């Protein structure tokens, strides 16, 4: 019994030494963190961006319906409007394909107003690639694209029942501005001053774009 008691005391004393234990944990974390960051950097560095071509439309439609179809149905009480969305793509609205290793993994699309505000119509990433900071990296690329066009504010509409997109939008620094019935929230993010002259790209389709 005394020997067993002694072992317990020594164990407690060793775990209570703040110096060595604290340093060991810090050292372990510091060694592990760069490895994770390095992996993330490699994965995001392998991304490439190119303009949409008509041959991309089936991929964009299927990806969008797969990711947002249920949200749209729950929000508006109707099936995902494939034909309407295809008309939007074919209207000339700027749409950028995100590729990884030469294969598409998502896209984003936007409209730029003459007042220097960019409406992000959609940003959709394939579920199998929704990790490792890829979505954030794509958004950073979009912001750089916007700044080149003298855009000062980004605007995006997110449905209230799309909890994941709401969390992602807030994480990116967007602020809620107002709510649009029946189920949409408008978020905006200021990315530059308002002194420059904006460049309008594409044209605004006549159809309602809030679903996107």
Choose between 6 and 98: higher pLDDT: 98
Name the token pair of 131: 């990790």
Cβ burial, residue 64 (10 Å; 0-12/13-18/19+): buried
Cβ burial, residue 102 (10 Å; 0-12/13-18/19+): exposed
Name the token pair of 113: 């107003």
Q: Are 20 and 26 within 8 A, CB to CB? A: no
Q: Angle 41-43-45 (CA atoms, 0-180°, nearest 5)? A: 65
pLDDT digits (tens, 9 = 90+) for 33-60: 444 555 455 566 689 999 999 999 999 9
Q: If pLDDT is split at 50, 70 and 90, which confidence band does 124 have?
A: very high
Write out the DSSP string of 53-110: -GGGHHHHHHHHHHHHHHHHHHHHSS---HHHHHHHHHTT--EEEEEETTEEEEEEEE
> How far apart (Å, rounded) are the C-alpha atoms in residues 118 and 136?
18
Q: If pLDDT is split at 50, 70 and 90, which confidence band does 131 have?
A: confident
Mean pLDDT for all residues in the chain? 78
pTM: 0.70
Q: Is the pLDDT of residue 113 over 60?
A: yes
Q: Which CATH class is domain 49-190?
A: alpha beta
């Amino acid at each position: 019994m005394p020997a067993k008691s002694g072992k317990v005391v020594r164990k407690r004393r060793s775990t209570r030494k703040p110096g060595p234990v604290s340093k060991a944990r810090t050292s372990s974390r510091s060694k592990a963190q760069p490895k994770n960051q390095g992996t993330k950097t490699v994965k995001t560095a392998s991304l490439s961006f190119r303009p949409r071509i008509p041959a991309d439309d089936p991929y964009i439609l299927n990806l969008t319906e797969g990711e947002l179809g249920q949200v749209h149905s729950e929000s508006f009480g109707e099936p995902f409007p494939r034909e309407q969305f295809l008309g939007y793509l074919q209207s000339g609205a700027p749409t950028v394909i995100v590729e990884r290793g030469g294969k598409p993994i998502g896209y984003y699309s936007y409209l730029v107003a003459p007042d220097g505000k960019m409406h992000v119509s959609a940003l959709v990433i394939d579920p199998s690639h929704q990790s490792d900071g890829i979505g954030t990296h794509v958004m950073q690329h979009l912001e750089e694209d916007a700044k080149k066009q003298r855009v000062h504010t980004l605007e995006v509409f997110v449905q209230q029942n799309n909890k994941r997109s709401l969390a992602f939008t807030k994480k990116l620094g967007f602020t809620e501005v107002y709510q649009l019935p029946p189920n949409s929230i408008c978020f905006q993010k200021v990315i530059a001053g308002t002194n420059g002259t904006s460049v309008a790209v594409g044209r605004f389709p006549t159809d309602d774009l809030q679903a996107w």
